[in-house]
Structure 1
Amino acid sequence: MKILLVDDHALFREGLKHLLKSLDAELELDEAEDCERGLELSARNSYDLVLLDLKIPGVQGLDALDALRRTSPEAPVVVVSGEDDPRVIRAAIERGAMGFVPKASTPEIMIQALRLVLANGVYLPPGVVDLAIPNGAPLPELLRGAQGDVQLPGLTPRQMDVLRCVIQGKANKVIARELDISEATVKAHLSSVLRTLGVNNRTEAVYAAAKLGLQLV
């Protein structure tokens, strides 16, 4: 496994380096102290995961997230930040982050969060997830088959495919190409997904999936 860590605090990077070894004993970790170096590394390498602090020298905040997603579009980005403002967390997810882990989290939570993201899930702090579901709408129960497959009542397998792509931050055009269907069909499936989850848009669907602990590999 190969991970890129972009953070300007050497002590934090050193501590996280040892923690990440529990994900993979043969872990390859590249480190960058600012966004410029992170972009250089991501342009030259293929990563399984990118960890990003929003407050780094040079390009900062969500602009740094946008830049890294452009240079390494296949790698899921997890924001690891001292900031826990729900507005910032929501904005990061809207712009394609697959997780947001506050630096105050325990090592156990950090590892659980990264494992979830590596399994194509989305991790968000629990309190933030609750705030994102409109009107406290109850979510449907997941059904798990004998083979470990996951299904939401009311959704067809194809609609589950669309939801998986939405969780992965893919645009409708990309979803249509990958599933070999039209964009109009993608939009129709997405409407059914939103209605079943009781949410209003893609971002709320991602939050709902996180609250359900939904992992769609």
Structure 2
Amino acid sequence: MKLLLTGPAGLFREGVASLLRLYAADVEVCMRDGLAGSISDDPKPDCIVMDGDALRQSAAEHEALREQARAMPLVVLLGAAQKADIDGLIADGVAGCVEKSASADMLFGALRVALAGGVYFPRAFLAGNPVAPVPSSIRATPAHRGEASPNADAHARLTPRQIEVLALLARGRSNKMIARELDCAEATVKTHLTTIFKALNVASRGEASAAAARMERVRETQVARAIDGQVSLGRLLANMESQRFRAGEVLFRKGDASGELFYVEKGTVTLSELGIELGAGSVLGEIGLFSPGHRRTSTAVCKTECEMRTVCAADAIRLYYQEPEFALHLLRLIVGRLQADKLREG
């Protein structure tokens, strides 16, 4: 994997480059002073990470951002974030914005989302709580912001099926994945997207995702899919670390500190104290991760050979904020298990 880091030479760039080298075992990090100019085709980077401070220093950098964001995932590092500023950058096609005060885990989370075809929003943007503004020179113009902020009439023209397509697009699904989830032809998805883009007055998937993030109908559709159990946890966790465990291996013991949850892809896990067996498609370890004391409530042992995705606490929190389906699934799962525990105690 090749990552391109652009920005002024110095301690900050060197520090970010060191972090990026920890992202994956095979990652190669290249550095440039700026984004403007041709990028080597041998090979092209899989993702660009850009120091957002460069945008206030050169109009050429902002134009280069718009051009490169159409060709590959691009993540911008910002000193601070405000909703209007994020809107403008996402409208430019950026696949993610990360505040410089964020943790390394959040940066890695943004890269995973961007590389998977999604759009990563800072937590302040998702919570509707903007903080200190980015310098005005990197803000989108009002006219440009208007392109990414379609009016209510445009929203109303979208059919329920098109809203479903838009809701899945906003979660980073490809056309093929949308077609599979909605049980329709990929050509039908393309037709829907053409209509959606025209109705919302957008020109890219990134712009459509930014518009969808502010549409109540999209959020309602995402929640409805989660309530109906239409959540593909395997897809949501596809970029998380996969591990294999031997039969009889202990994942964790009751009372241990909790730092991650597990998604079972293959095999069977037994929760010893509860006498419960969990198979493929199950999640475990979520109660300890979200409880105030962060302690395991049961011992988990692999009954058979298992293959699992592990999700660290930081990634779980990020998914909770960014993926409504994931958040609602966890909520229902935790409540269901607490109710079952209460019945057993009674």
Does TM-score exceed 0.5, indicating one fold?
Answer: yes
Q: What is the aligned partner in structure 1 of residue 169 from structure 2?
A: 164
Q: What is the aligned partner in structure 2 of residue 3 from structure 1?
A: 3
Q: What is the aligned partner in structure 2 of residue 102 from structure 1?
A: 99
In structure 1, give the amino acid aligned to 2:111. Answer: L
1:180 aligned onto 2:187: yes
Aligned length: 175
Distance change (3 Å), C-alpha of 1:68 and 1:182: closer
Mapping of residues 146-161 of structure 1, within 5 Å: 159-160=164-165
1:28 aligned onto 2:33: no
Aligned mates of 2:47, 2:59 — CA distance in 1: 20
Aligned mates of 2:79, 2:174 — CA distance in 1: 24
Q: What is the aligned partner in structure 1 of residue 66 from structure 2?
A: 66
In structure 2, give the amino acid aligned to 1:52. Answer: M
Identity of aligned residues (%): 23
Aligned mates of 1:66, 1:190 — CA distance in 2: 18
1:127 aligned onto 2:134: no
Do the aligned residues in 1 keep the contact of 2:165 with 2:189 (CA within 8 Å)? no
Structure 2 spans left out of the alignment, 5+ residues: 130-148, 150-159, 176-184, 199-207, 223-318, 326-346
Distance change (3 Å), C-alpha of 1:59 and 1:34: farther
1:205 aligned onto 2:205: no
SS in 1 for 2:52: coil
CA RMSD of aligned residues (A): 4.1
Aligned mates of 1:60, 1:85 — CA distance in 2: 23
In structure 1, give the amino acid aligned to 2:187. Answer: D
Aligned mates of 1:55, 1:64 — CA distance in 2: 14
Aligned-pair CA distance for 1:122: 1.7
Mapping of residues 184-199 of structure 1, within 5 Å: 185-187=192-194
SS in 2 for 1:180: helix
Aligned mates of 2:171, 2:113 — CA distance in 1: 16
In structure 2, give the amino acid aligned to 1:112. Answer: G
Q: What is the aligned partner in structure 2 of residue 148 from structure 1?
A: none
Aligned mates of 2:116, 2:21 — CA distance in 1: 17
Do the aligned residues in 2 keep the contact of 1:5 with 1:51 (CA within 8 Å)? yes
Distance change (3 Å), C-alpha of 1:161 and 1:128: closer
Q: What is the aligned partner in structure 2 of residue 52 from structure 1?
A: 50
Structure with max Cα Rg: 2
Aligned mates of 2:164, 2:125 — CA distance in 1: 26
Do the aligned residues in 1 keep the contact of 2:170 with 2:209 (CA within 8 Å)? no
Higher relative contact order (CA 8 A, sep 6+): 1
Do the aligned residues in 2 keep the contact of 1:4 with 1:51 (CA within 8 Å)? yes
Do the aligned residues in 2 keep the contact of 1:76 with 1:117 (CA within 8 Å)? yes
SS in 1 for 2:38: helix
Structure 1 spans left out of the alignment, 5+ residues: 135-153, 171-177, 192-200
Structure with bigger strand share is 2
Aligned mates of 1:54, 1:60 — CA distance in 2: 13
Distance change (3 Å), C-alpha of 1:46 and 1:168: farther
Aligned mates of 1:46, 1:125 — CA distance in 2: 27
Distance change (3 Å), C-alpha of 1:125 and 1:182: closer
Q: Normalising by structure 2, what TM-score?
A: 0.41
Aligned mates of 1:62, 1:52 — CA distance in 2: 11
In structure 2, give the amino acid aligned to 1:51. Answer: V
Do the aligned residues in 2 keep the contact of 1:7 with 1:34 (CA within 8 Å)? yes
Aligned mates of 1:68, 1:12 — CA distance in 2: 23
Q: What is the aligned partner in structure 1 of residue 245 from structure 2?
A: none
Do the aligned residues in 1 keep the contact of 2:165 with 2:192 (CA within 8 Å)? no
SS in 2 for 1:40: coil
Aligned mates of 2:122, 2:90 — CA distance in 1: 12
